[in-house]
Structure 1
């Protein structure tokens, strides 16, 4: 076959075929008229090179695979020399990933340091309490209607205080879990369209409302208060420190609680899956009450406080 047919049948360009020939990967015969004539074995070799190139190998790295085929093997990786190339390529990718991860970690650190340097610690709830006007109000879609009654699963989630919380072993009292999508970071843009997603905006102001009413919540019978999201612990720790929160945040990056209890989630552009905003009142390990949907979030802690005061526990409940 001529070079045009070889390129068409193998799915590569004429230039690629000529390059493979220059590397000695294909060996066409020269006809009396000067044209190259390629065999079926050349076609098999070019297809092998194309597939390996798509997997990340260079044309030169495919030489052992082509040689393996030329020895009569059915597959180019039937020979030990080909497997060595696989291992070397994987090691090279692992080194590249480690290098990129190190660079990412350094950039995140520098971002946090720069943001913290240019934004003072937020302590006044009034400044954070102002939500933009016209935010869409979330409606009850029934996604949490099944929640009152079930027990929390035996999950252990890492907290910003350095401890893990066993959700299945909370004790006999009441625990408040306010679940939120994500908190913004000073100097960093929120996801595109964040303010048009019903119930998305307001995580920082919600955290501050729980902060400012934390003592009152304890007095009303809450043994513990936790914020919970899918953000990692390092990110949440920055939020706790910046806002001066007196309680720990729990990280559920794998959405273990969402999957175990079928909690509502949503997908936001650029960040993927997130928790929908809701609050669980847990008593003796079982979900006693839920708040869903929540709006506005900046006064939600006061809503929880009112409920706790209207449903006090007596001594027989403890």
Structure 2
């Protein structure tokens, strides 16, 4: 068969086949006219090399696997040399993982130190690493509960702010504002509701707040006039959170779920809480909901998602 057919059957490019030849992984016969002539052995070799590449084993390390196939084995990983190559690849991955873990630890330490300098005047203060979430959290499904929101006018509801005043949601001013709604922020020494991590979308309020904190200036640079956090927690609770996480924006308390009732927003119940806000973010422009983010997952990178949307949708 010709090189084009081999590339098509092997799922690679003609250029890739020629590269494999330079590595000595295949040596095609030559026809009387000088054209390369490939056979089924070459098809198997190309398929093996491609599969190994998808696993991170580069073609230049595929020789033992191709040799194993040439020796008559059904699979390329049945020979001692190819098994040794697999062990070498695993060892290389382990070294890479260890290196990345060490780099992450250094970056996390610098994040904590930098955040402490940026958001607090206390020399001994430390901002916790809220950049990660527990593994295996259930992802919320889109049940359509926010589909009706874009284009809706924001109702004239006045809520208490952590700055000590009141905020009228219908009068946030010209331009864009971002209001992110969340169910419940954890507090040191206070237990979260039982089974909290098993409720899709419940866990991660502190991580979300910190992500909005860390991207606050970028959002402002992108044209966002204000960022507000909103939940049903009382003002004292909100103020503690805003101070502990060093948030550069105000938090709003809607203990009576006025906004939820006025706009038909999704809520849910949890042990010890008859009603909580589902995680949802509103982009409000000139008193009208321009966009609604729902469901939100993972929350620890949601501010970046909002920033990307704002940048790609200039006013």
| TM, length-normalised to structure 1 | 0.59
Q: How many residues align?
A: 192
Residue 180 of structure 1 corresponds to which residue in structure 2?
182
Distance 2:125 2:207 in 1: 14
Deviations 1:141-171 (Å, cap 9, x if unpaired)? 0111110011110111110001211111122
2:248 to 224, 246, 252: 246
Residue 136 of structure 1 corresponds to which residue in structure 2?
138
Q: Shift in Å at residue 129 of structure 1?
A: 1.3
Report matched runs for 1:191-230 at 5 Å.
Answer: 191-230=193-232
Residue 166 of structure 1 corresponds to which residue in structure 2?
168
Q: Does 2:296 match 1:301?
A: no
> Do the aligned residues in 2 keep the contact of 1:121 with 1:243 (CA within 8 Å)?
no
Residue 233 of structure 2 corresponds to which residue in structure 1?
231
Residue 278 of structure 1 corresponds to which residue in structure 2?
280
Residue 72 of structure 1 corresponds to which residue in structure 2?
none
Q: Does 2:171 match 1:149?
A: no
Report matched runs for 1:65-104 at 5 Å.
Answer: none
Distance 2:266 2:234 in 1: 19
Distance 1:221 1:290 in 2: 17
Bigger Cα Rg? 1
Give the match's secondary structure for 1:287.
Answer: strand
| TM, length-normalised to structure 2 | 0.60
| Aligned-pair Cα RMSD in Å | 1.0
> Do the aligned residues in 2 keep the contact of 1:121 with 1:242 (CA within 8 Å)?
no
Residue 69 of structure 2 corresponds to which residue in structure 1?
none
1:123 to 118, 122, 127: 127
In structure 2, runs of 5+ residues without a counterpart are 1-123
Give the match's secondary structure for 1:258.
Answer: helix
Give the match's secondary structure for 1:249.
Answer: strand
Q: Shift in Å at residue 123 of structure 1?
A: 2.2
> Do the aligned residues in 2 keep the contact of 1:122 with 1:243 (CA within 8 Å)?
no
Distance 1:214 1:301 in 2: 8
Distance 2:198 2:253 in 1: 25
In structure 1, runs of 5+ residues without a counterpart are 1-119, 314-318
Residue 8 of structure 1 corresponds to which residue in structure 2?
none
Q: Shift in Å at residue 312 of structure 1?
A: 1.2
Q: Which portions of structure 1, spanning 4 or more consecutive aligned residues, are displaced by more than 2 angstroms?
A: 120-124
